[in-house]
Chains A and B, each alone.
Chain A
Amino acid sequence: MRAKSIAIAIVCLFIAGFLAVKIDLYDQIYAIDHPESDVPVFMRFLGEGRSIVSSLSILQADRYFHGGVGHFSDEHEKGIAIAEQDPKIGESPDEHILTDLSPFNILFRLSDEIDVTEHVHLHGDQVKEIIPWLYYAAEIDPHNIQAYVLTGFYVCDRLGKVDQSIAFLQEGLRRNPDSWELNAELGRIYFQHIKNYEVSAQYLSRAWALLQEAPHDKFQERYVLSFLARSYEAMGRDDKAAPFFDRIKELFPKFNI
């Protein structure tokens, strides 16, 4: 009886193993045809909620940038996006507005004291602290372009990891081949940090082409065109650079090139 049970168990294990191999093969073939399905189970479980979690992760990065205090909406109202901030503005005075509270209003005073409301920015090497949240934002939602661009910017420009930044942005581009932002960011990095103007021009040209098909403003157009024009200029191809400079002049007549 016991030997029979063991034999049945072994047969079952063999069948399970055989099925597992078959299912895995099917899964791999399916993933080739449907790249969307090639994501971890947890991510699949999140479904459409992934974009929300990813955005929250970016907000968290912003909180970290401000020493754990959320100022994201305030600064967006002022038109300052996280990646465009001047590190020097962190020296702003304490923005904590102390409410004029009666000393007897003990709970309100406690709350005021416990909450951290000072406005600071991370400096220098400290910026690395925001990277995990930006990285996870991109990992959670591979179509969150902002997450890739911000990560690329901080890793390259603030932390000096140019190669890693390029690899990460290229991964983003693989997942979002039609993103002008990622092409532009890669072009900028090749222009500013690698000084490989040929490659930068390739990326920026593609960014420029994609930008035409996407809703955009003149500042974004200027951003792409200025790097593209300067890439051609650096390559000694002034003929190719000139039309782009003209276009910038057209967009911003007072802009001094």
Chain B
Amino acid sequence: MRAVWAIACGMIKELIRKKDFYVLLIFMLILLGFLSYQNFFDIGGVSRYVRDLGYSLVMFFSFITAVTFTAKQLPSEIAARTIYPLLAKPLSRQTIIMGKFFGGVLVSGLSFTIFYAIFTGFYMTGGEGKSLVLLAQGYLFGLLFLCLVTALVMFFSNFLTMSANIVLSFLLYISIGGLADSLREIALFSKGIISVLYGAIYYFLPHLEFFDLRTRITHAWDPLPLWVVFSLSGYTVIYCCALLYLSGYMFERKRL
């Protein structure tokens, strides 16, 4: 665990010392400030679109942080040849994968926490239907989402270049909602082998769309029942474990 923490800490320092995070933070503050101070026909108290765009920005910027930081970890270790002194240390390749994953989650989780705190400030200052339970669920779901994204990017980085990894992750992020809906419909309304096949693909896909509470938070819908929160946490843990096991297995066999 100390080795995993040691590797992860290095990534946090990278987040703090590189400009990427600050650019996103400033951009978010400017955008949220601009949106909040917009005046439409002297109508006060318009809040939903600020919540909507604010939440989307939080998720998207955290996603960017998770993907860009995690995707470059293994390729840059190999390119800079720092992987060799690391591999020469008393740690397994699985531990390196775990360290990089944990680092990715910490980095994106930390960014997400800061972004979410700002969003919470805007959320609490205006609008109707404020729900702390929903806000807490949004935070938990955001962290779970980042765990899944980091594990996914970690897995991809075993066989994709950094840029291909980033592009694939973005495509997945953008298209997964629509794709999952289509697969679900086909699986539900067809019969026989087609239903089984599409159902299997549906189960196999990483359901990033499950973590999106934008509509609920924006339009002040009820929080999700507890069984959904637990199920989704379990889903994330299982999916991440599977991806990390596969990543470790592939990295173990990678010729360096």
Contacts and interface: CB of A to CB of B under 8 A. Distances in A.
A112 to B, nearest CB: 9
A68 B219 contact: yes
Contact of B46 (A116, A128, A164): A128
Interface string A27-53: 000000000000000000000000000
Interface stretch (B10-18, B78-86, B106-114, B224-232): B224-232
Interface string B207-240: 1001000111011010011001001100100000
A107 B181 CA distance: 12
A129 B188 contact: no
B219 A67 contact: yes
Given A64-B48, A67-B219, A131 B41 contact: yes
A129 to B, nearest CB: 4
Nearest to A64: B48
B228 A168 contact: no
A126 B129 CA distance: 12
A30 to B, nearest CB: 28
A152 B228 CA distance: 42
B41 A165 contact: yes
Most buried by B among A69, A113, A168: A113
Interface residues of B, number: 31
A153 interface: no
Given A116-B221, A135-B40, A155-B41, A129 B47 contact: yes
Contacts of A165: 41
B210 to A, nearest CB: 6
A132 interface: yes
Contacts of A99: 188
B213 to A, nearest CB: 8
Interface of A: 64, 67-69, 99, 106-108, 110-111, 113-114, 116, 126, 128-129, 131-133, 135, 155, 159, 161, 164-165, 168
30 contacts: A64-B48, A67-B219, A68-B214, A68-B215, A68-B219, A99-B188, A107-B207, A108-B202, A110-B207, A110-B232, A110-B235, A111-B180, A113-B224, A113-B225, A113-B228, A116-B219, A116-B221, A126-B128, A128-B40, A128-B43, A128-B46, A129-B48, A131-B41, A131-B46, A132-B46, A135-B41, A155-B41, A155-B43, A164-B42, A165-B41
Given A68-B219, A128-B46, 19 more contacts: A67-B219, A68-B214, A68-B215, A68-B221, A108-B184, A108-B188, A110-B210, A110-B231, A110-B232, A111-B210, A114-B210, A129-B48, A131-B41, A131-B46, A135-B41, A159-B41, A159-B43, A164-B41, A164-B42
